[in-house]
Copies of this chain bind each other. A is one copy, B any other.
Amino acid sequence: MKRQVYNCQAGCPVESTLQIISGKWKSVIWYHFIKNDVCHFGELQRNMKDCSHRMLALQLKELESDGVIEKTIYPVMPPKTDYKLTAFGETLIPVIKSMEEWGTYYNQRKIAKDNMTTGN
């Protein structure tokens, strides 16, 4: 499966970052990886009820191939797998935090505007 392709000047750094952070379910996944050191497939799935099994697997696969998370497979039955951020992946945390901060600002501003139009 191809991932969404953003278009910019060739090799545009902003695009590269977006490729890794954005994607239908990636920011929720990032949320969990930043909150919990180690994540498991089933656990993520329970916490992301609207994300299909297929999509979760695909998104994790992309993050893994991007080198920001790594997988440990335990050869047991039933299978068990650990996912965690790589050291490289952790370098993205400050970027995500800055996006989070701005998003909070944006949401507050939006709420204020909505209240104004509804007359509250």
Residues of A near any B CB (own CB < 8 A):
4, 6-9, 11-18, 20-22, 24-25, 27-28, 30-31, 48, 50-51, 67, 88, 91-92, 94-96, 98-107, 109-110
Contact check, B31 vs A8: say whether CB atoms are below 8 A apart. Answer: yes
- Chain B CB count within 10 A is highest, among A13, A88, A94, A110, for A13
Point out the residues of chain B lying under 8 angstroms from A48, CB to CB.
7
Contact check, A107 vs B11: say whether CB atoms are below 8 A apart. Answer: yes
Given A7-B51, A9-B28, A18-B22, verify A102-B106 contact (CB < 8 Å).
Answer: no
Q: How far is the CB of A43 from chain B (nearest CB, A)?
A: 16
Given A6-B24, A107-B16, A109-B88, verify A98-B95 contact (CB < 8 Å).
Answer: yes
